[in-house]
């Protein structure tokens, strides 16, 4: 990590988010709730309305729970602009990518963002849950201003954000982003070394894969495994239900990244997980995983 000793960093008021799926929309909502001006880039023009509806529904749930008033929810949504043009991020001071967990897609996106975002002091950040930040940073001309900011799903609810600096990241930038996460967004930040999976997924994924292997071997059913961990270990959600919630494709992708880096068998995705992903059984988002979900 580079240290410059220069902590004079501009205040972040204009944020860009690339991607408006479950994570991207949640990150946009968190930033807009903090009073920031947010531009969200979706993959195609026809996704603009769907992205806005996703954020609006989340805000509606907050209103129903008494966490926001109707007027506050409207104000939050009013601070979010959705577009299908990546060039609309040119004036952003912080851009957070939240596209699918695919290294090729993310590295290509960082190359494009590096050319589009005009402010030389702007920070390019990734919400990746598994890809080392160094690989993304090296595809830009400003690796010292590239960091990881890994939110957890659902982003408007869960308080933790992993902040990751590569060996090339300026420490002043990393510290500035960490303060932004805590002081502006109101989240709790932990620093993670720049290694595949960071802190949380390096611990979580082997646990989830063990549960899948139990099902695969016939040792126990998903219901029994999940009940055991809920009632016996006070986990709020069992591991197979959590796999469904995260997405089987996401769990498999993270596992492959971990196995590629560390070559340890505990990170290898079980055949059952691979077959389910190949069959489109991705969990809650597809309607079927280890459990069935109503449409």
Q: Any idea which residues carry the catalytic annotation? A: 129, 150, 162, 201
Using DSSP's 3-state secondary structure scheme, residue 69 falls into coil
Rounded distance between C-alpha atoms, residue 1 and residue 232, angstroms? 42
Report the Cα–Cα distance between both ends of the chain, in Å, rounded.
Answer: 47
Rounded distance between C-alpha atoms, residue 175 and residue 107, angstroms? 24
Torsion of CA 198, 200, 201, 203, to 10 degrees: 110
Rounded distance between C-alpha atoms, residue 226 and residue 229, angstroms? 5
Q: Which residues are bridge partners to 96 per DSSP?
A: 17, 125
Q: How many residues does the chain have?
A: 295
Residue 33's nearest CA partner among 96, 94, 75, 70 is 75
Give whole-number Cα distances, 280 to 12, 135, 160, 248, 285, in Å. Answer: 40, 29, 30, 9, 10
Phi, psi of 275 (to 5 degrees): -65, -40
Tokens representing residue 15 in the block: 């944020």
CB atoms within 10 A of CB 266: 14
Q: Which residues are bridge partners to 192 per DSSP?
A: 164
Beta carbons of 258 and 195 less than 8 angstroms apart: no
């Amino acid at each position: 990590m580079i240290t410059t000793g220069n902590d004079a960093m501009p205040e972040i008021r204009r944020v860009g988010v690339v991607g408006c799926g479950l994570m991207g929309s949640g990150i946009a909502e968190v930033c807009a709730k903090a009073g920031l001006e947010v531009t969200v880039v979706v993959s195609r023009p026809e996704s603009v309305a769907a992205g806005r509806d996703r954020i609006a529904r989340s805000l509606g749930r907050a209103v129903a729970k008494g966490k926001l008033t109707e007027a506050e929810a409207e104000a939050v949504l009013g601070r979010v602009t959705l577009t299908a043009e990546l060039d609309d991020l040119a004036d952003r001071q912080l851009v957070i990518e939240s596209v699918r967990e695919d290294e090729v897609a993310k590295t290509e996106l960082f190359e494009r963002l590096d050319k589009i975002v005009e402010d030389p002091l702007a920070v390019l950040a990734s919400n990746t849950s598994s890809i080392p930040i160094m690989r993304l940073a090296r595809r830009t001309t400003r690796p010292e201003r590239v960091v990881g900011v890994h939110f957890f799903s659902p982003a408007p609810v869960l308080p933790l954000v992993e902040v990751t600096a590569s060996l090339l990241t300026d420490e002043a930038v990393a510290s500035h982003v960490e303060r932004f996460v805590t002081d502006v967004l109101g989240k709790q930040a932990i620093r993670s070394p720049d290694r595949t999976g960071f802190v949380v997924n390096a611990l979580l994924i082997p646990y989830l894969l063990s549960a899948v292997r139990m099902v695969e071997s016939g040792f126990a059913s998903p219901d029994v495994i999940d009940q055991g961990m809920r009632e016996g270990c006070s986990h709020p959600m069992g591991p197979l239900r959590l796999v469904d919630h995260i997405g089987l494709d996401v769990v498999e992708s993270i596992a492959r990244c971990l196995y590629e880096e560390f070559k340890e068998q505990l990170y290898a995705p079980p055949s059952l997980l691979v077959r389910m992903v190949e069959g489109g059984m991705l969990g809650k988002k597809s309607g079927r995983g280890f459990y069935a979900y109503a449409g």
